[in-house]
Structure 1
Amino acid sequence: MNVPPEPGPDGLRRVPVLVVGGGGAGLTSSLALSDLGVESLLVERHPSTSVQPKAHILNARTMEIFAHHQVAADIRREGSPPENCRAMAWLSSLGGDEPYDRKVLYRTSAYGGGELAERYAKASAQPHANLGQRWLEPLLRRHAEERAPGGLLFHHELLTLDEDGTGVTATVLDRTGGRTFRVRASYVIAADGGKTIGRLRDIPMEGTPTFLEWINLHVRADFSPFIPYDDAVVNRVSSLSDDGTLEHCGVVPMGPRRWGRHSEEWTLMFSRPPGGKEAAELDDETIVKMVRRTLKLPDAHPMDVLSISRWPVEGTLARTFRSGRVFLVGDAAHRHPPSGALGLNTGVQDAHNLAWKLALVLRGNADESLLDSYEPERRPVARRVVERALFSLFNQIAFTSGTGVVPGARPEWNRAQMTALFSDTPDGETRRAVLREYFDTNRITTAHLGLEMGYDYADAGFVTPDHTPRPRTDPLGLLCPQTARPGSRLPHAWLRHRGERVSTHQLHGTPGSFLLFAGAHGGVWREAAKSVAQRHGVRIDAYAVGAPGEPYDVDGEWYRLRGHDEDGVVLVRPDGFVTMRQLTYCAYPEDVLNDALETALGRRAHAASRKGHD
């Protein structure tokens, strides 16, 4: 059990990093900092982790991060088996007896499963996972508390935040005991969903304000008689109501012991458009009736409602991701619809990008200007995610045009269109073919590998360019061309090392370390790495791929992706992104490597800044 922090002689509890918020991004920040040897204190105003299932898809990039911090295996153990999260299905209803009820509108592979598996496996050794936040967050909390005993304080609320030239002083309220205490920190990570720190620091959210209200029901029910597939990670019901309008509701299996169509618990999701009755005005009983009507559940079919949540849907981005010594991550920095399962994943990746930088700065191994890289690296990624999530949300209902159902048309007309859609006639066959064309555009929501991990940080100014052209990106974000160009995520390829098959990412085993992959003639680079690492007080795990006793490439994939010859080298940052690539022989490897490391540690940026002020 955690105890309130003990004050020092000056009445302050001193800690290098204060993390505000105990959701996915905050908990990831805590455990990552612990793995990096940095003490932190996390405060969360709620008494526990989320009681709502919330987000559940964990994409491959996020699972790479969790594998790096030794939690991926537990997530897979507690989450959905792969065979139960491979597809997305659109259904016309769960019940009902109209000619168009209980039909499959469309089905497609999703989130790296099914037909997408081969494409995703080429990009990462980590398949996606599926575990709702109601179960994920306690798992992350357990790991974080094991690594930082007493370092996580739930039911504690940040009240004030004051900054001076050397740190930040926070006032924290113990909501159980009612007393307050003060915390002195060098830096603050705002993972509070924008509840407090954005307001205290006067950081506005920019973009599309609330335009929908989302309602989630967490229910316990047996939907197996109504769900046709056991591998659908999401079922989307679009049913024709009595007044002739299409009503939409997500039906998402949440396990937690059985999965797929036999899940014991589910999330039911639907939205309220502007101009209608606000979600807050709808009592729970009315909401349950609305959902049952949309799903066309038989009146006698039991459904135990565990909780109902209402939340505004927006598409916004914090004007700045940094305010002095305060850094915004997760929903505090970006908010958008759940379309594409990008929110939690982006927050985890924010935390991972920031943690190693804070650790090296706090230890004195990096210049403080390295922290200036957080916003220019992560904000463009978040902007793209917000834009895509907004577009995907509306694209998911664009298929309505393919059904022939017209908003505002007479109910008789719309019922006739849906009946014709499923008729066993040439016209019905044509209508279904057209509908598939509409649905096929939804792959931007379910198969966006390029969006998940194809971003790069080359333009932020903290990697050493090699002046090679940036690979063309897929505008739909479906494909992820792997490259070892500086600024890009380290490409995944399989190597053989010490008799085992290992991914390039698995050789990056120690949190906080740099990774060097040289060619077969890379002995000089390994020696240079030892010298430079000692000079800067960092760790560099160095390999000469293809040299005797070193990892070697069996199928040639790494040789194809690395982009350098046997005299060249790739240097990778602690977060798994390439910071330097030397394409061929160089006469002064130690100097080149030293310059690259100084850039990665922010020292070149600091020198440039000082020169600009001289």
Structure 2
Amino acid sequence: MNSSRRPTPADRHTPVLIVGGGGSGLTASLVLSDLGIGSLLVERHPSTSVQPKAHILNARTMEIFAHHKVADDIYREGAPQENCGAMVWLSSLGGDEPYDRKVLHRADAYGGGALAGRYAQASAYRHANLGQRWLEPLLRRHAEERAPGSLLFHHELTDLTEDDDGVTATVLDRTCGRSFQVRAAYVIAADGGKTVGRLRSIPMLGTPTFMEWINLHVRADFSPFIPYDDAVVNRVSSLSEDGTLEHCGVVPMGPRNWGRFSEEWTLMFSRPPGDRDAAGLDDETIVKMVRRTLKLSDDHAMEVQSISRWPVEGTVAERFRSGRVFLVGDAAHRHPPSGALGLNTGVQDAHNLAWKLAYVIDGLAGPCLLDSYEAERRPVAQRVVERALFSLFNQIAFTSGTAVVPGARPEWNRAQMTALFSDTPDGETRRAVLREYFDTNRITTAHLGLEMGYDYADAGFVGDDRTARPQPDPLGLTLVQSARPGSRLPHSWLRHGQQRLSTHQLQAAAGSFLLVAGAGGAAWLSAARKLSEARGVPVTAHAVGADGGPVDADGTWTRLRGHDEDGAVLVRPDGYVAMRWLSGCAQPADALDAALDAALAREPGGSAPTDE
């Protein structure tokens, strides 16, 4: 990078250039549009993903999509709620051995079954289940409606330079072979690490490729082999002829029927890197291996739509920001799919970054606010990568409970699997022990605290109300909701007129701050109104319990908010608490103004410094 270089004349100008048209990039595009910021998205492929890929969208992600008016479409096109409640482990789909076609374990998963009540207390939104093959066109449709002509597929970034005033990108139109220049103030790299990270020399730190993942997208009727209709994922662990346990995920993908009657499926299995059975396998051999693992007969129809191979690693970018360039999604963090954390984290990256870019571009925030993106999101990514790696190996380790030993004689291992399902006291003991192993897998399927419990207080861009931080659950299973600065706004149902609203539905529009005061909060509301007009920062304000305000009918919000009737909570546009006042103060306008200055990295008094 040469910061003194004069920029070359550009063919197109845009405030934000988005590189990559997957889930993270498309989310960035539509969120920026809702915030009134123009963007240009370039994607090197001619279309959105042809692979089903990630499919579970957690409640925090659905809160974001609801705020940007796409959640209803996702729920409508995705799996019905009754088909999204469990994870099931099977010994095979076919086969005739005593241990074939058995249920090894079944667990409620991702807010389903017995988990539903706990998840409903945390969010107004449930998980969704829609593979990226169908999700990405939906997001693209919304993004293009909001920014016509601003999404360029089959266009590839080939070069990127930066100067004092912005960035100049060289983009290749892969359809006609012509290159052109794009001038932008900022770049969002949502390209999975394919180009931008390399151009900016940003290394990935952590565990490099340790296995090759192979996904098959198939059309088949598996309904005779799948015992449950609500399994989000079926995991097959079958004993092969040589006595080893082989694993394969069998994931229903709809798209019209769901559960065991899905028409399309993703089959997932892995191989060690560099092994002769890894990425170099031809398609025919892969199909034979999958059939063998599932113990499907050769005459059972299975139409292969596509096969993808990708390296599995556990890495985090050394930095999420390089000058005017910001990394999101797989460009910033990569890990195995265990726990369904990848796409969700990428969407949340884009959401965290977009409102900050919008405020800086509009001159309402100081440029240093953009430093908060890495400060807040990189620790989240690090935690996600660590958990995904641990979850993957924990899932594999459950086989210890079967008494099948790698390297043992096939006869021994077949005897262990037979004994596991025997109708004897020994069999009952073995199955009880196996359940103990499987129970640890709840760190993968029931990690509500991990999905929503992130805390940004340590990043330094929120206020401090001098209260103690709630002790997090080390397993990440439980969520302690808190209105402490840095925490996600707690969910609670309120009654406002004839409407039943979640606290997350109180913000009037994208990009607005939210002030929620107690019944004695008239002075806070007046201060919010005057400051919003004077500073140009939109603030939606409510006094819960006051005349005309929302009503806390069941007392949940009063319990969670942590302040008295004269106090208040200020919430950022991304739904995280910027400041909390435990009680009233003599000068609420001054207190609110100072909190907005801190949240927006402004000089005291509301000015936004321009010297970055």
Paired amino acid for 2:110 = Y
**Count of residue correspondences:** 604
Among all aligned residue pairs of Structure 1 and Structure 2, give the percentage whose two residues are the same amino acid.
Answer: 78
Whole-Å Cα distance in 2 between the matches of residues 319 and 124 of structure 1?
A: 33
The residue that corresponds to 1:3 in the other structure is none
Whole-Å Cα distance in 2 between the matches of residues 585 and 516 of structure 1?
A: 13
> Following TM superposition, by how much is the alpha carbon of 1:10 offset from its aligned partner in structure 2, in angstroms?
4.1
SS in 2 for 1:31: helix
> Following TM superposition, by how much is the alpha carbon of 1:535 offset from its aligned partner in structure 2, in angstroms?
2.5
Whole-Å Cα distance in 2 between the matches of residues 608 and 456 of structure 1?
A: 27
SS in 2 for 1:261: helix
Whole-Å Cα distance in 1 between the matches of residues 605 and 259 of structure 2?
A: 53
Whole-Å Cα distance in 1 between the matches of residues 526 and 278 of structure 2?
A: 64
Kept after mapping to 2: 8 A contact 1:486/1:580: yes
Long gaps (5+) in structure 1 = 1-7
Kept after mapping to 2: 8 A contact 1:213/1:278: no
Whole-Å Cα distance in 2 between the matches of residues 424 and 298 of structure 1?
A: 28
Paired amino acid for 1:84 = N
Alpha-carbon displacement from aligned partner over 1:2-32 (angstroms, at most 9, x marks no partner): xxxxxx9944311100000000000000000
Whole-Å Cα distance in 2 between the matches of residues 216 and 163 of structure 1?
A: 38
The residue that corresponds to 1:48 in the other structure is 47
The residue that corresponds to 1:546 in the other structure is 545
The residue that corresponds to 1:392 in the other structure is 391
Kept after mapping to 2: 8 A contact 1:518/1:570: yes
The residue that corresponds to 1:452 in the other structure is 451
Q: TM-score, normalised on structure 2? A: 0.97
The residue that corresponds to 2:3 in the other structure is none
The residue that corresponds to 2:576 in the other structure is 577
> Following TM superposition, by how much is the alpha carbon of 1:258 offset from its aligned partner in structure 2, in angstroms?
0.2
RMSD of equivalent CA atoms: 1.6
SS in 1 for 2:312: strand
Q: How does 1:5-84 map to 2 (within 5 A)?
A: 10-84=9-83
Paired amino acid for 2:384 = V
Query: In structure 2, do the counterparts of structure 1 residues 9 and 172 end up closer, same or farther at CA, with 3 Å as the change threshold?
Result: closer
Paired amino acid for 2:282 = D
The residue that corresponds to 1:494 in the other structure is 493
Kept after mapping to 2: 8 A contact 1:367/1:606: no
Alpha-carbon displacement from aligned partner over 1:69-108 (angstroms, at most 9, x marks no partner): 0000000000000100100000000000000000000000
SS in 2 for 1:43: strand
Whole-Å Cα distance in 1 between the matches of residues 273 and 76 of structure 2?
A: 41
The residue that corresponds to 2:295 in the other structure is 296
Whole-Å Cα distance in 2 between the matches of residues 371 and 51 of structure 1?
A: 34
Kept after mapping to 1: 8 A contact 2:330/2:342: yes
SS in 1 for 2:397: coil
Paired amino acid for 2:104 = L
The residue that corresponds to 1:307 in the other structure is 306
Farther-moved stretch of structure 1 (281-290 vs 599-608): 599-608
Kept after mapping to 1: 8 A contact 2:10/2:168: no
The residue that corresponds to 2:202 in the other structure is 203
Whole-Å Cα distance in 2 between the matches of residues 389 and 605 of structure 1?
A: 42
Whole-Å Cα distance in 1 between the matches of residues 604 and 330 of structure 2?
A: 29
Q: How does 1:474-485 map to 2 (within 5 A)?
A: 474-485=473-484
SS in 2 for 1:502: strand
Alpha-carbon displacement from aligned partner over 1:23-67 (angstroms, at most 9, x marks no partner): 000000000000000000000000000000000000000000000
SS in 2 for 1:149: coil
> Following TM superposition, by how much is the alpha carbon of 1:605 offset from its aligned partner in structure 2, in angstroms?
9.7
Whole-Å Cα distance in 2 between the matches of residues 221 and 608 of structure 1?
A: 61
Paired amino acid for 2:156 = E
Paired amino acid for 2:509 = T
Kept after mapping to 1: 8 A contact 2:601/2:608: no
Whole-Å Cα distance in 1 between the matches of residues 441 and 608 of structure 2?
A: 46
**2:598 pairs with 1:599:** yes
The residue that corresponds to 2:218 in the other structure is 219
Kept after mapping to 1: 8 A contact 2:593/2:606: no
> Following TM superposition, by how much is the alpha carbon of 1:168 offset from its aligned partner in structure 2, in angstroms?
0.2
Whole-Å Cα distance in 1 between the matches of residues 84 and 297 of structure 2?
A: 27
The residue that corresponds to 1:180 in the other structure is 179
Paired amino acid for 2:214 = I
**2:556 pairs with 1:557:** yes
Whole-Å Cα distance in 2 between the matches of residues 606 and 24 of structure 1?
A: 38
Paired amino acid for 1:428 = G
> Following TM superposition, by how much is the alpha carbon of 1:382 offset from its aligned partner in structure 2, in angstroms?
0.4
Q: How does 1:525-544 map to 2 (within 5 A)?
A: 525-544=524-543
Alpha-carbon displacement from aligned partner over 1:472-503 (angstroms, at most 9, x marks no partner): 00000000100000000000000000111110
Q: How does 1:68-467 map to 2 (within 5 A)?
A: 68-274=67-273, 276-467=275-466
> Following TM superposition, by how much is the alpha carbon of 1:279 offset from its aligned partner in structure 2, in angstroms?
2.5
Alpha-carbon displacement from aligned partner over 1:412-457 (angstroms, at most 9, x marks no partner): 0000000000000000000000000000000000000011010110
> Following TM superposition, by how much is the alpha carbon of 1:275 offset from its aligned partner in structure 2, in angstroms?
5.6
SS in 2 for 1:98: coil
Whole-Å Cα distance in 2 between the matches of residues 606 and 85 of structure 1?
A: 50
Whole-Å Cα distance in 1 between the matches of residues 599 and 247 of structure 2?
A: 48
Whole-Å Cα distance in 1 between the matches of residues 218 and 369 of structure 2?
A: 46
SS in 2 for 1:428: helix
Alpha-carbon displacement from aligned partner over 1:279-314 (angstroms, at most 9, x marks no partner): 331000000000000000122100000000000000
Whole-Å Cα distance in 2 between the matches of residues 470 and 199 of structure 1?
A: 38
Query: In structure 2, do the counterparts of structure 1 residues 607 and 372 end up closer, same or farther at CA, with 3 Å as the change threshold?
Result: farther
Long gaps (5+) in structure 2 = 1-6
Whole-Å Cα distance in 1 between the matches of residues 533 and 596 of structure 2?
A: 12
The residue that corresponds to 2:4 in the other structure is none
The residue that corresponds to 1:5 in the other structure is none
> Following TM superposition, by how much is the alpha carbon of 1:278 offset from its aligned partner in structure 2, in angstroms?
4.8
Whole-Å Cα distance in 1 between the matches of residues 74 and 538 of structure 2?
A: 29
Kept after mapping to 1: 8 A contact 2:232/2:252: yes
Query: In structure 2, do the counterparts of structure 1 residues 467 and 539 end up closer, same or farther at CA, with 3 Å as the change threshold?
Result: same
The residue that corresponds to 1:506 in the other structure is 505
Paired amino acid for 2:182 = V
Paired amino acid for 2:513 = F
Whole-Å Cα distance in 2 between the matches of residues 604 and 341 of structure 1?
A: 40
Alpha-carbon displacement from aligned partner over 1:376-433 (angstroms, at most 9, x marks no partner): 1000000000000000000001111100100000000000000000000000000000
Kept after mapping to 1: 8 A contact 2:9/2:181: no
Whole-Å Cα distance in 2 between the matches of residues 69 and 448 of structure 1?
A: 25
Kept after mapping to 2: 8 A contact 1:462/1:605: no
> Following TM superposition, by how much is the alpha carbon of 1:276 offset from its aligned partner in structure 2, in angstroms?
2.5
> Following TM superposition, by how much is the alpha carbon of 1:262 offset from its aligned partner in structure 2, in angstroms?
0.1
